Amino acid sequence: MEFSREDLAEAKRQIDSTLHKLRETIKTFESKENAQRYKSQITLAKRRVRAFEIADWFIANELGKDICDN
């Protein structure tokens, strides 16, 4: 499937924004008095962060190819 450079750049921007929000969510849950109570939410958020980091890497890599090809 082909994506335009603009599509990839916008997807990366959205992923970066979501990553920021997820990381803040993790901080919030971990700082709660009874953080153990939120263990499943913390685990889910951390897994999502990792998935978005991987997607972000692939998009950045793809965008970097365009720069090298020009």
Q: What is the pLDDT of residues 12-56, one digit of tens each?
A: 999 999 999 999 999 999 999 999 999 999 999 999 999 999 999
Domain that holds residue 26: 5-69
| Domains held by the chain: number | 1
For residue 70, pLDDT beyond 80? no
Q: Are 6 and 12 within 8 A, CB to CB?
A: no
Tokens of 8: 């990839």
65: pLDDT confidence band, cut at 50, 70 and 90?
A: confident
Residue written as token pair 């008095």: 33
